[in-house]
Structure 1
């Protein structure tokens, strides 16, 4: 499990991104359970995620409407298969509007760039 914390901050909202190998919905649930063992992530406002498995694309917005699809499209574009990416947001009290999608994209981009350098 790779976790990049405090990568984006905007109007009080803070973001982190994490990911790891994942080939099924059961593995995605296990990944999220492991991530949420960290109290900080369990208390997050949103843990939005997506995974492009061999069987089917999987995603969950976790209340951040449309964010799972943003992650999934980026996984498809990069052809990153059997790997889950979770974008975590701690809400800061001010609505971000469309900027929240840009932040999700930036978080995924930071993660994939870090992954390619590993």
Structure 2
């Protein structure tokens, strides 16, 4: 499990991005459960995630409508399969509007850069 913490901060909201090998929805749920064993992550507002499997893309917005699809599109562009990417957000009290999609994209890009994929 690779975790990049405090990658983005905007109007009180803070973001982290994490990921690792994953091939199915059950493994994705186990990944989120493991991530939430860290007290800080257990208190997060959203854990939006996606992964590309051999069968189909899987995603979960976790209340951050549209965030999972943003991650799916970036995984498809990279051709990164069987690898989950989770963007975690701690809500800061102010709505970010469309900026939240940019933050999800930026967080995924930072993760992919850290993997050496860009």
Range of TM-score over shorter length: over 0.9
Q: Secondary structure at the match of 2:86?
A: strand
Deviation at 1:25, TM superposition (A): 0.7
Q: Secondary structure at the match of 1:41?
A: helix
Give the unaligned 5+ runs of structure 2: none
Task: Write the mapping of 1:88-103 to structure 2, written as runs, cut at 5 A.
Answer: 88-103=88-103
Q: Which residue of 1 aligns with 2:62?
A: 62
RMSD of Structure 2 on Structure 1 (CA): 0.8
Distance 1:45 1:36 in 2: 11
Q: Secondary structure at the match of 1:92?
A: coil
Deviation at 1:100, TM superposition (A): 0.2
Q: Secondary structure at the match of 1:111?
A: helix
Q: Which residue of 1 aligns with 2:14?
A: 14
TM-score after normalising by structure 1: 0.97
TM-score after normalising by structure 2: 0.97
Q: Secondary structure at the match of 2:92?
A: coil
Give the unaligned 5+ runs of structure 1: none
Distance 1:53 1:30 in 2: 16
State the Cα deviation string for residues 53-110 of structure 1 (Å, max 9, x = none): 1121100000000000000000001100000000000000000000000000000000
Distance 1:21 1:81 in 2: 9
Q: Which residue of 2 aligns with 1:37?
A: 37
Instruction: State the 4+ residue runs in structure 1 displaced beyond 3 angstroms.
Output: none
Distance 2:116 2:30 in 1: 24
Distance 2:62 2:40 in 1: 16
